[in-house]
Amino acid sequence: MTRALRCGLVGLLLVGGAAWAGGPLLTALVGPDDAPQPPWVVVGLPQQSKPVTRYTVVPLDGERVLRVDAAASYGNLVHPVLENLGTHRLHWRWRLDTPNPASDLRRKEGDDSPVKVCALFDLPTSAVPFIERQVLRIARLRSGEMLPAASVCYVWDAHLPPGTVLDNAYSRRIRMIVLRGPEAPLHTWQTEQRDVWADFLRLFGDEASRPVPLVGVAIAGDADNTQGHSVAHVGTVTLD
């Protein structure tokens, strides 16, 4: 498997399961255990040998929250969503505690993020440019998973200013918006709300003129390209 496939696509695997019909679209991250509640599940790479990013539930500021600890590691925390099209807003709280000074999302060798929240979309493959479509097809065959053809990731970055929009250094199937940059204080909770459909059309408007089904939400932190270390925390994540 090529490095581009590994970093650009395989990391955002969709997993089995779905939200309960008529219930919340996302199960709460935090339950009674030290691990995130199912159907939130940690997904790495097929036959991954490198360390997997640690996602644990910890006490912090009088509540139990998700800790994202990336140490030369890779892995994503994914929740499947099976829902009809609609106007969905994604809400979450997060904070950055230990940034990775070596990260640089503009370069492949620096393509690590301490924390990001991603919306995964079922863009028809017919809308994907030919070469990228073939890469996606191969990745799906090799992983045995129905990988999303379009992902919008909201990033907390220690270097780039808020509002920066850029493609993943390995694949345009993942496009990013920097929400918090170097001006954001460490160890401080920030609250976000995003219209995922509006952001999808903004970032993938060259391939789609209308919203497509949202099929998953992912929380991720990685430090495998820089061999660095970062720590972040995520509070409540909801979708309505």
pLDDT reported for residue 139: 60
Residue 89 sits at φ, ψ, to 5 deg, of: -115, 135
Distance CA 83, CA 81 (A): 6
Residue 130: what pLDDT? 57
Alpha helices (H) along 20-111:
none
What pLDDT was estimated at residue 112?
Answer: 97
Domain spans of the chain, in order of start? 3-239
Q: Strand 150-156: give its sheet, edge to edge.
A: 41-43, 76-80, 214-220, 115-121, 150-156, 174-180, 165-167
Digitized pLDDT (tens) for each residue of the chain, 240 residues in all: 334 333 344 444 444 444 444 457 899 999 999 999 999 999 987 778 899 999 999 999 999 999 999 999 999 999 999 766 666 899 999 999 999 999 999 999 999 999 999 999 987 666 666 566 666 566 655 655 556 768 999 999 999 999 999 999 988 889 999 999 999 999 999 999 999 999 999 999 998 988 888 989 999 999 999 999 999 999 999 998
